[in-house]
Structure 1
Amino acid sequence: MARSSQAAEEDIPGVPARRAALRLLDAVLRRGDPLDQAAPPVLRAIERGDDRALALAIAQEALRWLPDFDRLIDGATRQILPEDAKARSVLRLMLAQALRLGLPPHAVIATGLPLLVGGPRRLAHGVFSAVLRGDGLPATPTLPAATLERWTSAWPARVDAIAAGLAVPPPLDLSLRDPARTAEWATRLGGISLAPGHVRLARAGAIEAIEGFAEGAWWVQDLAATIPASLLGPGEGRRVLDLCAAPGGKTMQLAAAGWQVTALDKSARRLERLRENVARVGLEAEVEIVAADAMQWRPPAELFDAVLIDAPCSATGTCRRHPDVLHRRIDQTGLEDLQRGLLERASGAIRAGGRLVYAVCSLEPGEGEAQAEWVKALGRVAVTPDQLPAGLTPTAEGWFRSDPGMLAEHGGIDGFFAAMWEK
């Protein structure tokens, strides 16, 4: 029996990776799944690591530039393709490869058109060719309409810079277990340092292959994500509660700074990853891991010297590395209610004179600034300029706020908010 044309086309090198990218795009746009949640089961069937990385990169670039790809597609068709048409999705992926990843057009066509089995291949070929003859993409990605409306209202002076910060995938930030070796590791890895204990690298290859991974010298953590824990300073053996701790970047940061850390999270799966991360960097003795829902858990009789809340949030501040967040539907009210609940719970776990740091990787003021204004029972402690990397400054209220347009000359930074109080 003759093999089907689809089965034969699956043998074309590169087609499985493109088909995986199409499934990832569908998972984000149709089902609303986070990309990092959708990726493992989709990519598991692809044998080669470089093909898995390519599929993910294609999907990410399609999401990063989605409104601009759609504008180009619509400008090259007489009849607008439906939003959910498979041909539109395939064209988005093909344009991401040609216009963002620099792949040869003939290779893009050879691996893209087989995705349209029984579909309008001639139309897709014609639209793709017409777009390549046109003016191409703008210098800065166009934000999705709903996102643009929110951020124009929230950050009118910053929205253009934020969009510009999304234009390229970010570099790789590493947090060092021993900040005293910052200069040494920056030299060994060929990177730059923007703060003690930080090294920034151009993105390259598998994380596990980078020098120092096996010995636990560092972990991956965006520079902005390091700031909330750093606000608490040296631990000197004191006790800190890290709420919503998994996968453990801030837990490791606190433990390396001399804190005795209770790391609490309700996800057993994510805590297993935290346990592996803590073991790799050799900080098991400094970390107690607790699997519990923070809204139900009761603190021990001996209260903590500090609490860090890295609260569940929309994660819109991570959009330069996770462009899918720009397209996901967000339950803002539910998140803000949970965040306030965590703030209430955390304040009861701190001893008198202890400190609370609240942080979110969000660009939504309702999850950051509005929550900080809501806290009245604790005394505000202002973030000072010397607590932040060069080029970043505290807000007028004494909070920390970053966005993807900041530190652009060094490769940017995630969007974060952090505030601190004393009991």
Structure 2
Amino acid sequence: MPRSDPDSPDALGTPSRRAALRLLDAVLRRGEPLEQALVAATRHVYGPDRGLAHAIAAEVLRRLPDLDALIDSVTERPLPDDAKARMALRIALVQALVLGTPHHAAIATVLPLIDGGPRKLVHGVFGAITRSGVLLPERPALPPLVEARWDAAWGAEMVEGAQAAIAAPPPLDVTLADPAETDQWVTALGGVSLMPGHVRIHDADPVTDLPGFAEGRWWVQDIAASIPARLLAGAGAGGGTALDLCAAPGGKTLQLAAAGFAVAAVDVSNARIKRLRENLFRTRLKAEVIAADVLKWAPEAPVDALLIDAPCSATGIFRRHPDVLHRVHPPIVEEMAGLQRRLFARAADWVKPGGTLVFATCSLEAAEGEAQLADFLSARGDYAVDAPDATLLPPGIPVSPAGYVRTLPGMLADRGGCDGFFIVRLRRTA
């Protein structure tokens, strides 16, 4: 095997680290979602190297405050947040302390990233930290502004749950096309089930290699993300008409179609609609797919059931996408909340009297959940909260006294956790 040359930009292993640097720059400096930045950042790396670049960047984002605390502990003056020396140290340290990369390889593959900068400083700081035998904390620190916001909203127990949840990528959840086959797929996939129609797999193989994927017997969907459609189907309108707004990539559309609804799925993004169509084809489920802006489009007639999986800050999926902790700030939350209010108010007119509306966001911000519900009910006397029966929810996820469902970090922790969601089911009374 050729030796790594730390003085060469083409040193063995360096291209994947350079791609990780581009990914981190896209997230931390430009505010791009990690997955969105992946294609451009990894355009010169392939196969396992691409996966390694993604893994390095994601782990840096999971551990960023703690990595920076280590770096600052051995430097006389703090390095600028956006300095390449700091970024290179983050990449080297997360490899050595989290991913198990040999120390010599971790440092040799990042020194070329400095491009003529303070390599001796980077090498010295890395050596001082790794020789000390220091370890990263078991529970990573959250970014200070996020911790303060969540502590004020939910309390210290939630913050501790979030710290535990961010420590490692979560297990893989799948939703089954036929809940009656739950035991069969638990065995076939080597997983566990938290409720009918769900299987959780720890240390899963690549999704496309798992039994049942090609045949469309299931689709990937966190257990919390499956609750909105479960509540809609549980309202007793199966076989009626349903609208799934902001539907792509289609997990909830597939649930509604499998439950017997005649579904129309609406989304504004052509790229995401392509994935929705692929998922429908693979699962052999049927839905009408409509490319449209919901704020400009309207259905021809009211429906029995309506699901608003509203665009949001996505802070609830931070354990899968740790970049949200670093790029979502209060102005973004405020902007998304405004969009949700307009969408909620407009779409509520599309439900038949006696019909059901479920509003959901994968957000841990009250402005995108509890506050939306309060504003909506104050403006719409023709809607009332329809609290779900506990049997529609996984054991360990409660119905709030006000009748909605709020999933928080720490829930189901002993079984692998769940994403953060706000979900409310409403009945149109007139």
TM-score (norm 2): 0.93
Q: Does 1:219 align with 2:219?
A: yes
CA displacement at 1:6 relative to structure 2: 9.3
Structure 2: which amino acid aligns with 1:402?
T
> Given that residues 320 and 404 in structure 1 are in contact (C-alpha distance below 8 angstroms), is that contact kept between their aligned partners in structure 2?
no
CA deviations on 1:357-413 (whole Å, 9 max, x unpaired) are: 000000000100111112224111112321110111111211111123211111111
Structure 2: which amino acid aligns with 1:256?
A
Q: 1:98 maps to which residue?
A: 96
Q: 1:250 maps to which residue?
A: 252
> Given that residues 144 and 327 in structure 1 are in contact (C-alpha distance below 8 angstroms), is that contact kept between their aligned partners in structure 2?
yes
Q: 2:241 maps to which residue?
A: 239
Q: Does 1:306 align with 2:313?
A: no
CA displacement at 1:8 relative to structure 2: 7.6
Structure 1: which amino acid aligns with 2:161?
A
Give the SS at the match of 1:175. Answer: strand
Structure 2: which amino acid aligns with 1:97?
Q
Alpha-carbon separation, structure 1, partners of 2:249 and 2:203: 21
Alpha-carbon separation, structure 2, partners of 1:309 and 1:6: 54
CA displacement at 1:254 relative to structure 2: 0.9
Alpha-carbon separation, structure 1, partners of 2:238 and 2:422: 26
Report the aligned-residue RMSD.
Answer: 1.6
CA deviations on 1:38-85 (whole Å, 9 max, x unpaired) are: 01222233122x221111111001001100000000001112111110
Alpha-carbon separation, structure 2, partners of 1:6 and 1:294: 54
Q: 1:42 maps to which residue?
A: 41
Alpha-carbon separation, structure 1, partners of 2:363 and 2:190: 31
Q: Does 1:398 align with 2:399?
A: no
Structure 1: which amino acid aligns with 2:139?
T
> Given that residues 166 and 404 in structure 1 are in contact (C-alpha distance below 8 angstroms), is that contact kept between their aligned partners in structure 2?
no
> Given that residues 384 and 398 in structure 1 are in contact (C-alpha distance below 8 angstroms), is that contact kept between their aligned partners in structure 2?
no
Q: What are the residue-to-residue correspondences of 1:13-412 with 2, within 5 Å? A: 13-48=12-47, 50-132=48-130, 133-156=132-155, 157-233=157-233, 235-283=237-285, 286-300=286-300, 302-330=301-329, 331-376=332-377, 377-412=382-417
> Given that residues 72 and 78 in structure 2 are in contact (C-alpha distance below 8 angstroms), is that contact kept between their aligned partners in structure 1?
yes
> Given that residues 158 and 409 in structure 2 are in contact (C-alpha distance below 8 angstroms), is that contact kept between their aligned partners in structure 1?
no
Structure 2: which amino acid aligns with 1:389?
P
CA deviations on 1:20-43 (whole Å, 9 max, x unpaired) are: 111000000000001011012222
Is the deviation greater in 125-134 or in 290-299?
Answer: 125-134
Structure 1: which amino acid aligns with 2:279?
N
Structure 2: which amino acid aligns with 1:74?
D
1:418 equivalent among 405, 417, 423:
423
> Given that residues 267 and 291 in structure 1 are in contact (C-alpha distance below 8 angstroms), is that contact kept between their aligned partners in structure 2?
yes
> Given that residues 313 and 328 in structure 2 are in contact (C-alpha distance below 8 angstroms), is that contact kept between their aligned partners in structure 1?
no
> Given that residues 244 and 265 in structure 1 are in contact (C-alpha distance below 8 angstroms), is that contact kept between their aligned partners in structure 2?
yes
The alignment of Structure 1 onto Structure 2 pairs a total of residues equal to 415
CA displacement at 1:13 relative to structure 2: 2.7
CA deviations on 1:132-161 (whole Å, 9 max, x unpaired) are: 224321121111111011101101142222
Give the SS at the match of 1:405. Answer: coil
Alpha-carbon separation, structure 2, partners of 1:138 and 1:71: 11
Alpha-carbon separation, structure 2, partners of 1:329 and 1:220: 25
CA displacement at 1:7 relative to structure 2: 11
> Given that residues 6 and 117 in structure 1 are in contact (C-alpha distance below 8 angstroms), is that contact kept between their aligned partners in structure 2?
no
Q: 1:204 to 1:130 in 2, by over 3 A?
A: farther
> Given that residues 262 and 287 in structure 2 are in contact (C-alpha distance below 8 angstroms), is that contact kept between their aligned partners in structure 1?
yes
